[in-house]
Amino acid sequence: MDGASLSVMNQTVPAGAVASSDPLAALLEELQFSLNEGPCVDAATWRRPVLEPDVRMLPAGRWPALLAPLGDTPIRAVFAFPLQIGEIRLGVMDLYRKHPGQLSDPELNTALAYADAATNVLLSGRGDDDDVPDLLLDPVRHRAKVHQATGMVMVQAAVTIDEAFSLLVARSYAEDRPLMDVADDVVARRMRFAPVVADPSRGQPDPGGEGRARS
C-alpha cells in the first residue's frame, strides 16, 4: 500500500481527514471533501467497502468531478472501508496504491482488521491503551444486546444513535461496570435514560422528545 488516511463523519457526511500517511493521501481526502464524491463518500453512503482497482478505467459517470483531478495524480487504485457499528457511522479508512490491481485476499483481510482496530479507537475516543474499557478487549459489535440497548436509549433519551451509544459507554465508565452489563439492564428494563435536553448550539431540532415519563 502506498498511503492511507482516516476520516471522521459528521452525521452522515465525511467531515475531514484526521490522519494521513503522506501528502498524496491528504490530497485524495481533500479532493473528496471539496467535491463530495469519491470512494470515501461512497463507502460511507453504501455502508460497504469500495474497492476500485484502477481509477483510470472507471466510467466518467462514476465520479464526474473527481476523476479528472485524480487522473493528474499517480494514484491508480483506491480502497475505502467504512468504520461503522450498524447504523453508527464513525468514519472511513481510505487506502491508495500507485499501481493498478485488486487487493489480494490476505491484503483485504489485513485492511479489514485495520478498519476494525480504527473503529475501536474511534469508539473509545482515545488512542492509548490506558484504562481502556472492556469494549476494546471484547469487540462490542458482536453483542446483540448492546445494539438493542443502543436503539432503546436512542428513544429514551431522544438522541441520535451515536449519542445513544456514547451515553451507554459513559454510564459503563461512570458505574465502572462492563458495557454488556449496562446493556443487559437496559434491555431488561431495569435501567432507563432520561431525555437529554436539546443543545441549541447544535442548531438541530430535538428529534422525538415525546415527553415520556422518566424513571
Partner 1 sequence: MSDERPDAGTSTARRSASREEQITDAFVAIADTLVAGFDVADYMDALATRCRDLLHVDAVGLLLADVYGRPQVAATSSHRAQLLEVFEIQSDTGPCVECLRTGATIAEVDAEGTDPAGTGRWPEFTRLRREHGFGSVYAVPMRLRDDVIGALNLFRTSPTALDPMDLRLARGMADLAAIGLIQERAIHDSRALAAQLQTALNTRIRIEQAKGVLAERLGLEMDDAFEAIRRYARAHHLRLADVTEQILTSTLQAPMPGPPAPGPAEPTP
Site residues, partner 1 (CB under 8 A): 47-49, 51, 81-82, 84-87, 102-103, 105, 108-109, 112-113, 116, 141-144, 147-156, 161, 187, 207-208
Q: How far is the CB of 51 from partner 1 (least distance, A)?
A: 6
Q: How far is the CB of 208 from partner 1 (least distance, A)?
A: 7
- Give the position of cell 471484547: 138
| CB-count exposure of residue 129 (10 Å: 0-12, 13-18, 19+) | exposed
Residue 53 or 69 with smaller CB distance to partner 1: 53
As measured in angstroms, the least distance from the Cβ of 30 to partner 1 is: 26
213 secondary structure, DSSP code: P
Nearer to partner 1, 84 or 172 (CB): 84
Q: What is the identity of the amino acid at 109?
A: N
How far, in Å, CA of 122 to CA of 80, rounded?
17
Q: How far is the CB of 194 from partner 1 (least distance, A)?
A: 14
Contact 140, 166 (CB under 8 A): no
Closer residue to partner 1 (CB): 30 or 87? 87
- Give whichever of 30 and 184 is closer to partner 1, judged by the CB atom: 184
Question: What sign results for the dihedral spanned by CA atoms 15, 94, 118, 154?
Answer: positive
